[in-house]
A = this chain, B = another copy of it.
Amino acid sequence: MRVGVIGHKGYVGLPAILGTLLDIAPGLGLTLLFEQDLWEIAEEGEKLETPEQVDALFTLGGDGTLLRGARFLNGRTVPILGINLGRLGFLTACSGEEFEQGVRRFAAGDFVSEPRMALESCALNRDGIERCSWLSLNDVVLHKGGFARVVKFTVFVDDEAIGSYSADGLVVSTPTGSTGYSLSAGGPIVVPTVESIVLTPVSPHTLAMRPLVLPPQVEVKVRADDGPEELLVTIDGQVGTTFTGGETLVVRKARNAVQIVRFPGTTFFTRLRRKLGWGGLSERDGETI
């Protein structure tokens, strides 16, 4: 099996992990392909350049590295094994300490592949011509940039204008992304198996806006009103483009799901409690006596 490896160089333990990986790969029948930065550290193996080269992807870092890996695959449906070098992630399958065992289980086929809905989005210029497109596992965000305070959009769902409002921005999120930026902006937590598109306004001016959970098959369009304001489109909080009044962002469910490797153990709710402190009894509980 040909396995792509991408990683975040900011983690101290990365070279050691790469060393172990190179040691055990041949015995497990894994051929490793490294992205440029890791290849320079590994000093051996092939270079990872296109998604078609691989049957699986290992990501060494946190959830952000896995998000980047999913974008790299660009719709190719091979499993992604996230090895967490930081704190517990929502998307990673095992910690750095468990990584050797994780890789062995993966190679033996002893894992579950969890399909996660992704989003395809593109920016259309004023003439309706597509000028950029992206895949994202978490979210697509249209947000004011610079000093502008009043940005107005109109949101369309399947070509019905559902609302026009002023805000800092709008998060269009997958269920996977619902625990990310959408949550910070006041959105609900959507269990990943509830296929849907979540629209969460960021600091809306009107008090009456609320997050909206849409069916997965709709097409969401967001058209920025004319104006001099600088806008930004951000994909998974990592890449993006500037955007101007009159342009339109189009978002829909991606054709292929992203395949996340899971080992039995922690559930979604366990991760929710550990990472967000969700659901615990608070200190206020002792107050009334």
Contact = CB atoms under 8 A, between A and B. Distances in A.
A208 B279 contact: yes
B213 A289 contact: no
B285 A207 contact: no
Interface string A166-183: 111000000100111101
Given A238-B288, A280-B164, A183 B206 contact: no
A246 interface: no
A289 B163 contact: no
A120 interface: no
A155 B278 CA distance: 12
Q: For this complex, into which size category does the number of interface residues on chain A fall?
A: 35 or more
Contacts of A190: 212-213
Interface in A251-280: 267, 269, 272-280
Interface stretch (A16-24, A47-55, A81-89): A81-89
A64 B282 contact: no
A206 B269 contact: no
Given A234-B147, A281-B166, A207 B207 contact: yes
A157 interface: yes
A112 interface: no
Interface stretch (A72-80, A96-104, A125-133, A196-204): A196-204
Nearest to A271: B283
A221 B24 CA distance: 45
A184 interface: yes
A167 to B, nearest CB: 7
Contact of A283 (B178, B187, B274, B283): B274
Given A232-B147, A288-B150, A215 B194 contact: yes
Contact of A181 (B203, B208, B237, B267): B203
A289 B62 contact: yes
A247 interface: no
A202 B205 contact: no
A62 B164 contact: no
Contacts of A163: 269, 273, 278-280
25 contacts: A8-B289, A61-B289, A62-B286, A63-B286, A64-B288, A89-B286, A147-B239, A149-B181, A150-B285, A160-B269, A162-B279, A163-B273, A164-B280, A165-B281, A166-B285, A184-B205, A184-B284, A188-B211, A193-B215, A194-B213, A206-B282, A207-B208, A208-B279, A238-B288, A275-B284
Counting from the closest, the 6 A-B pairs by CB-CB distance are A163-B279, A206-B282, A149-B237, A275-B283, A64-B288, A162-B269
Interface of A: 8, 10, 61-65, 86-90, 145-147, 149-150, 152, 155, 157, 160, 162-168, 175, 178-181, 183-191, 193-194, 196, 198, 202-215, 232, 234, 237-240, 267, 269, 272-289
